Structure 1
């Protein structure tokens, strides 16, 4: 059984000009996503700039989202780390806060071997009962979850799905072949949602859903309801906007998109900074063409 079906937004983390987290705006965005039909919220993922949050902030963001959602949709907490002990700490604390699932990225920089990578996930999962979604994004971590690794990791009892962001559709198809209906396959790339659904995917963990929550959810549900043409139309409609929001490193453009849409000023923490003027103009143009602004 999938933790959710549809669109899970990888939520941006609103910040003040001084770089502190703006918790009032975080609550506002969370409530907006619930009202717009987002199917799940991922707090402290890549798009949420989790890697620049200290532990107290990281857990406070997760707690704020959980309390604001108040059980209406699943909240998935990003708790990955390249330090297994640290990953255990974040997972245990997120479970205490009431997260519905944990999104655990492969350890970055250390370049774990297959055997030690399995041991890493086993160590974390042994300390929590909460469902775990693997997160494979080699472009950021330099560590790919191959189909054979996914097959091995899915045997860990609380590993119940994967956010697959390799962009390798052949790999995704092979993963789909090796898992069963109890293992959820989520697209980690906004430009591959319909292709992933076509091989049995349950939905998407999405960046573009920060600015197109209704359409992103509708696309998945159209497909799951057999309305394939409607799903395809939304996927194709989103492509020019997807191109812009990934023209610079995520979440730089999409956070600016949230500002243009919702009036929540886009502030970042170094090493991230504001997008180039050209990117902002392209973003404004495509959001206007899409009918967002």
Structure 2
């Protein structure tokens, strides 16, 4: 069972000015991220504007990434949707096209009880082939539903293919609880600004949208951690913090897309009702990114 690890990149979905998916740009982005040190790829999630995509589009995007990656790195497809039926359809499609696993976020907006969340995940996991891994995905500040330790423990103990969790909220006590779910339970975190600290705590890596624009500093942190070079890890973590601040840590995906445009990837536009950066904002961002690249000797081109 291939698990997520290291620098897992939450990928944007390139779109044109009408909001149509740009296949060639996604192929280019996939190649660039692998070349720059991404350990795993994770399309169709929050960073990929999943809530603005229909099932057909999500399947097409997943197919493009899996086909382009050619098994050079693990690819997990985010398959979470508002109903078990849709989630299972996307997850089975991911398995069919050769993805290494799926991530599934809690359904959003309507409040779910512990019993309902447990039942949702167990239903999805039970519909998947044996050995095909599933990561739970808890981002309570966006979904409105929070997976407690006891929920995760129950799901994990009753579904053999639940491999771990992606947690995107900076609650260190909850993170430590997740790390106690099971000996083989994998915890990936989405809080990029404390990546190095989370590795030391025992997390297996990050699922990072910022790394989808600048994977290099995150890859350096992870390699330094593997090599037990704490001084280098600390130095590069400070670089990660700086680029996280520049790109607003994913609070506005338009910064990610403009950042990729700066690096030569035609990431395009946001899908309505989200909007692109205004021209002055974009020009200002490009100036800051040029200075950042010079300061840390990172290529402007991805």
1:225 corresponds in structure 2 to: 227
d(CA) in 1 for partners of 2:134, 2:165? 8
Match for 1:169 among 167, 172, 189?
A: 172
Count, aligned residues? 292
Matched, 1:153 2:158: no
Partner of 2:6: 6
Whole-Å separation in 2 of the counterparts to 1:150 and 1:286: 41
Residue 240 (structure 2) pairs with residue 238 (structure 1): yes
Shift of 1:238: 1.9
TM-score (norm 1): 0.93
Structure 2 gaps, min length 5: none
Paired with 1:95 and 1:134, the residues of 2 have a C-alpha distance of 16
Judged with a 3 Å threshold, the aligned counterparts in structure 2 of structure 1 residues 281 and 168 are, in CA distance, closer, same or farther, namely: farther
Are the counterparts in 2 of residues 244 and 279 from structure 1 also a CA contact under 8 Å?
A: no
Does structure 2 conserve the Cα–Cα contact (< 8 Å) formed by 1:46 and 1:251? no
- Structure 1 gap segments, 5+ residues each: none
Q: What is the deviation of 1:181? A: 3.8
How many angstroms apart in 1 are the aligned matches of 2:34 and 2:65? 11
Q: CA-to-partner distance for each residue in 1:172-192, whole Å, 9 max, x for gaps?
A: 12222x223411111112112
Q: Any residues of structure 2 matched to 1:19-38 within 5 Å, and which?
A: 19-38=19-38
**Residue 116 (structure 2) aligns with:** 116
Matched residue, 1:210: 212
The aligned residue for residue 87 of structure 1 is 87
SS of equivalent residue, structure 1 residue 77: strand
Provide the C-alpha distance between the structure 1 equivalents of 2:193 and 2:66, rounded to a whole number of angstroms. 28
The CA deviation string for residues 125-147 of structure 1, in whole angstroms up to 9 with x for no partner, is 01113201111101110111222
Find the partner of 1:262 among 249, 253, 264: 264
Paired with 1:220 and 1:161, the residues of 2 have a C-alpha distance of: 19
More displaced 10-residue stretch of structure 1: 146-155 or 122-131: 146-155
CA contact (8 A) 2:25 2:267 kept: no
Asked whether the 8 Å contact 1:118–1:153 carries over to 2, the reply is yes
